Chains A and B, each alone.
Chain A
Amino acid sequence: MLTIKKYVKAASLDEAYELNQKRTNRVIGGMLWLKMSSGTVQTAIDLSGLGLDTIEETDEEFSIGAMVPLRDLELHAGLNAYTHGAMRESLRHIVGVQFRNLATVGGSLYGRFGFSDVLTCFLGLDAVVELHHGGMVPIKEFAAQKPDRDILVRIHVKKTPLRCAYLSQRNTKTDFPVLACMVSEWDGTLRVSIGARPQKASLIELPKDLMPENASLEEIASYVQEHTVTGSNMRASAAYRSRLAYVLTKRACQQIGGMDK
């Protein structure tokens, strides 16, 4: 059972950052994962009063506040048009509407959870994470870092023209994915993000000669399978996940190439 001694609704990012330097204090996002833990939080730091629950769209980018609920991302017309529906597809299988109205994008990304559909999807985008002290960090770099005591403020998704598709496999609806796959192509490079391996999502940038236009889907899928480290847990074996990496990559490439039509 989780015990919280003190609750502070931070009045500024500086205050939140300062409070968060103490190891026994915790920033709370949607609290859905934190609630499942046991132990004592000395001070729960709530960012919900800092105006970080909005998605702002300009000609150049989407700026997504850390406290934006996953449901808002799922329903955002601009993000879904830009990602060809991949954003919604990555989110709609996560538990239920009531859960996604609470879970936040900041909490999902900051935890760098192995099961995270959200991290898998954002890794495939031209995205930068804004940290209060760390500044702008490319999402790939951020995902590789260990969680520290900084505050995730916003996620910036540049409107770089892209093709992308998101697919996941689950043993049962609303469960964690057995494997998640985001295929995206921008700036002439094909990128494949594989999540729930079950380790946290990893991003593979394919060689230039491996594009849907000049390589077979089997060649692309085989490359991804060979370069994806998978593991076993109660949901699936490493071998099954490895096979899924091949299948989902192939299907997602078909989608972005328009070859499934």
Chain B
Amino acid sequence: MMIKLNLNGKSVSADVAEDSLLIDFLREHGCYSVKRGCETSNCGLCTVFLDGKPVLSCSLLTVRADGKTVHTLEGLQKEAEEFGAFIARQGAEQCGFCNPGMIMNAIAMFRENPDPTDEEILEYLAGNLCRCSGYEGQLRGIRAFLDYKKSKGETAICNM
């Protein structure tokens, strides 16, 4: 069936199968940051924003995105670049496979709660699994990023 959505600021129309999942549609449209991890709706690797809210694209029918706005990591360049580079410099992760989903959900958290406590960070990011780090590295990196932004008198959120 025909759908029309806004993908990373561009209007996209497409004829999609009724059981097509959003993750496959996004990858077909060049958004390779969106990856399939667990296939059980648990790992958060496929996180995208649907009308500004983080959702699992592996579990959402593409037809349900009809008329909506979808953002992937590719569409959040400025916010993602600064935060991603900071996390990398901090050595906050190891293999980086979980990184796209983790960055997306961290940005969602910054927008919802610009000054989270450590406990709030752990709770918000509980849906992003990392098999390397035990999450301590990510927590330290995010904390350091928030403290760095605060020291500059800025919030973690960049204007899109």
Number of A-B contacts (CB under 8 A): 74
Q: Is the interface of A mostly helix, strand, loop or mixed?
A: mixed
- Docked Cα-Cα span, A173 to B130, in Å, equals 13
Q: Is the CB of B44 within 8 A of A4?
A: no
The interface centre, meaning the residue of A7, A28, A48, A71 with most chain B CB atoms within 10 A of its CB, is A7
- Docked Cα-Cα span, A35 to B56, in Å, equals 12
Quick one: which of A6, A98, A174 contacts B18, CB cutoff 8 A?
A: A6
The interface centre, meaning the residue of B41, B63, B109 with most chain A CB atoms within 10 A of its CB, is B41
Interface stretch of the complex, out of B47-55, B78-86, B87-95, B150-158: B47-55
- Nearest A residue to B125 by beta-carbon distance? A96
Interface size on B, residues (CB 8 A): 27
Q: Is A150 an interface residue (CB 8 A)?
A: no
Q: Is A5 an interface residue (CB 8 A)?
A: yes
- Docked Cα-Cα span, A227 to B97, in Å, equals 47
Q: Is B72 an interface residue (CB 8 A)?
A: no
- Docked Cα-Cα span, A98 to B124, in Å, equals 9
Quick one: which of B60, B63, B123 contacts A102, CB cutoff 8 A?
A: B60
- Nearest B residue to A34 by beta-carbon distance? B59
What is the distance, in angstroms, from A103's C-beta to the closest C-beta of chain B?
Answer: 9
- Nearest A residue to B66 by beta-carbon distance? A9
Q: Is the CB of A96 within 8 A of B127?
A: yes
- Docked Cα-Cα span, A92 to B127, in Å, equals 11
Quick one: which of B50, B60, B105 contacts A97, CB cutoff 8 A?
A: B105
Q: Is the CB of B54 within 8 A of A36?
A: no
- Nearest B residue to A96 by beta-carbon distance? B127
What 0/1 pattern do residues 103 to 137 of B give for CB contact below 8 A with A? 00100110000000000000111111000000000
Q: Is the CB of B19 within 8 A of A98?
A: no
Q: Is the CB of B59 within 8 A of A32?
A: yes
Q: Is B13 an interface residue (CB 8 A)?
A: no
Q: Is A3 an interface residue (CB 8 A)?
A: yes
Q: Identify the B interface with A (CB < 8 A).
A: 1, 18-19, 40-42, 44, 47, 50, 53-56, 59-61, 63-64, 105, 108-109, 123-128
